[in-house]
Structure 1
Amino acid sequence: MGLFKRNNPDSNKIGGLKILFTSDLHGSETAFRKFLNAALMTKADTLIIGGDLAGKSLVPIIDIGNSKFKIEDKIVGKEGVDEIIKKYKSSGVYYTIVDQKGLTELNENRKSLDEEFKRVILERLQEWDRIAEEKLKGTNLKIYTNLGNDDPLYMFDVITKSERMVKCEGEIVNINGYEMITFGYVNPTPWNTPREMTEDQIYSNLKRIIEKVGNPAKTIFNLHAPPYGTNLDNAPLLDKTLKPVVKNGEIVMTHVGSMSIRKLEEEFQPLLGIHGHIHESRAFDKINKTIIINPGSEYNLGMLHAAYIILEDNKVKTHQFVIG
């Protein structure tokens, strides 16, 4: 398995392809390990991560001397630290061990905090790369790895140097005759995340890529943002303070996906659309003939949410969610 030369796009038959797709792991080592285990159990041919590998928070562990540490107002010893670190890595939380002077520096110097975030993000991604090499040893499996809207671009530095991960954003990747395009930017969010574009920018950038594929009807659209107005893009409606709107005791939901991505999937009708971004919207749907899937995410619980998809003879033969 890997990158292959382009097959004749006019060929009538394309062989089978077993895909395991996940997204929005947000630093959870447990979810990542489960993804690799699931790949081996399902005998997948192709592994795809649709974006948002980076975690969202960094917790200081304060070394107070004498093999004692202060974590979130608790004093623990070395064994206690190891147990807490294990929980942090499972739930996607980053940590850094500092003394009081180091803590003050992080609190008062934004540049130092940004540099520490960068260090821990890259460190964990490098660790994932080592885990993947160990777990997938003896196989030819590659992990087509994209960044999402929460991921800083410097994470591509690790991916491009990896023997297992393959950078696919902006590329047309041919996998067993099925072409795949990949795009990790999303339409604007209330949180002003690192990788957002206007709808017009998304449309123009993606269309330039799509127009280079041999046959859109045989193409996989690996796009982080889900298409607007589908089962894949339901999220809580937020008020001006970014709190969910509650009506009659229930959270009000609304569609938050990309209108441009919907428009492009309507225009080009790819074989398959795989998406993420909206954690609470695990679902599949159809836009015309195109099957679209969002596996959802519960990374903070150390749970894997993935989709197992079989393509055969230019069709989506079957698809199912993998949760555990």
Structure 2
Amino acid sequence: MFGTRRTTIFFATDIHGSERCFMKFINSAKFYGANVLILGGDITGKALIPIVRDGHSSRYRATFLGERVTLESEEALAAFERQVRHAGAYPFRTTVEELAALESDRTLVDRLFTRLMVESVQRWCELAEERLRGSGVRCFIDAGNDDEPEIVEVLKQASYVEMPEGQVVLIDDEHEMVSAGFANLTPWHAPRDIPDEELGRFIESMAGQLQHPERAIFNVHVPPYGSGLDTAPQLDEQLKPVVVGGEIATGPVGSKAVRAMIERFQPLVSLHGHVHESRAVSKIGRTTCINPGSEYGDGHLRAALVTLKGPKLLSYQLITG
């Protein structure tokens, strides 16, 4: 017998360091009445923003989004740092001498980037615990293909946030979840890109353990190939968009292995991200596949609200907040 309990999932992905989007993600549990939160990968940012001290004064200067700013108080500095974090970048205070050293040594930059990413994700995990502990809401956060291996370890060590990748997780009394944040190989050689065949084997190693695949959830970062959830600009060898007839050519960039796993196991719902511009819902057999897309740079959190009950997908809705 199936239970009568409904499970409402709030799923978002690809926030790329945006603290504004992360706070919206955490607050969505109360706002939408969700009892399961899933953040599906690519959670870290892509840019460092130096805030350079002006000589021996207390004044700092920085450039952000093409605008040069002068910051003359601790209040102004803190407000600027919040603005940068909300947009998905990492601010750091420095001196002219330290900045010159960074510019001449890529290793120093990489170390700084990793440290700031780790500190940011640690702070997010603490915020999630502070806001959600005692609420009965479960919070799953996975690393995506753009996230460094160090981020995986931070998530695994969190005391409240759950890192679901690599195991079958029972999210409630009836629904199992399989998670994979890796992606098939991309032109950017991201940290967690792997061959498509390897991705398929990784998913199969979990999906093969499912007790009830027909009620399962796939939380797989890369969308299935040719599903309409994976349409992106085609790129040439210089990674520039291909233009045909005056328009940018597009095509599928998803994973054939992911599609094969969905076709084989036919989970109830399959949640994806990775391709920001391909916000869509499609069916593969009986499986409803969803990519809510991403607009993290503008502070907009695109997401999917999914309600399950036993063997049924009662409803789904693409939302932007």
**TM tier, shorter chain?**
over 0.9
Match of 1:117 in 2: 113
Letter in 2 for 1:75: T
Deviations 1:192-248 (A, max 9, x none): 000011111111222121111112111111100000001210111112221222333
Match of 1:66 in 2: 57
**Distance in 2 of aligned mates of 1:14 and 1:229:** 35
Tell me the distance in 1 between the aligned counterparts of 2:141 and 2:275.
18
Asked if 1:21 corresponds to 2:11, the answer is yes
Alignment CA distance shift 1:101-1:51 (3 Å): same
| 2:278 maps to which of 264, 277, 281 | 281
User: Is 2:103 aligned against 1:107?
Assistant: yes
Report sequence identity in percent.
37
When the two structures are aligned, how many residues end up with a matched partner? 314
C-alpha contact 2:29 2:137 (8 A) present in aligned 1: no
Matched, 1:272 2:269: yes
Following superposition, the deviation at residue 74 of structure 1 comes to 4.3
CA distance, structure 1, for counterparts of residue 263 and residue 292 of structure 2: 21
User: Which residue is equivalent to 1:309?
Assistant: 306
Deviations 1:97-156 (A, max 9, x none): 111221122111222111101111011112212322332254122211110001111113
Cα distance in 2, alignment partners of residues 60 and 114 from structure 1: 14
Hey, what's the Cα distance between the residues in 2 that align with 1:234 and 1:129?
Answer: 32
Structure 2, unaligned runs of 5 or more: none
* Consecutive unaligned residues in structure 1, runs of 5 or more: 1-10
State the one-letter code of the partner of 1:100. V
Q: CA deviation at 1:25?
A: 1.0
Distance 2:47 2:276 in 1: 17
1:132–1:12 distance in 2 versus 1, CA, 3 Å: closer
Measure, in 2, the Cα distance between the counterparts of 1:206 and 1:138.
32
> 2:126 matched to which residue of 1?
130
Match of 2:239 among 237, 242, 245: 242
| SS of equivalent residue, structure 2 residue 236 | coil
Alpha-carbon distance, 1:76 to partner: 3.2
**Distance in structure 2 (CA, Å) of the matches to 1:208 and 1:34:** 33
Query: Equivalences for 1:14-93 in 2 at 5 Å?
Result: 15-64=5-54, 65-72=56-63, 74-78=69-73, 79-93=75-89
Normalising by structure 1, we get a TM-score of 0.92
* CA RMSD, 1 decimal: 1.6
Aligned 8 A contact 1:14 1:314 in 2: no
Give how far 1:253 is off: 1.3
Q: Which moved more, 1:121-130 or 1:41-50?
A: 121-130
Task: Name the SS for the 2:194 alignment partner.
Answer: coil
Query: Matched residues in 2 for 1:76 and 1:42: separation?
Result: 38
- What is the CA–CA distance in structure 1 between the aligned matches of 2:193 and 2:115, rounded to whole Å? 23
Q: With the length of structure 2 as denominator, give the TM-score of the two structures.
A: 0.93
Q: Aligned with 1:32: secondary structure?
A: helix
Q: Retained in 1: the 8 A contact 2:140–2:164?
A: yes
Partner of 2:259: 262
Q: Could you tell me which of 209, 212, 217 is aligned with 1:215? A: 212
After superposition, the C-alpha distances for 1:57-105 in whole angstroms (9 at most, x for unaligned) are 1121111231111212543323543333222111101121111221122
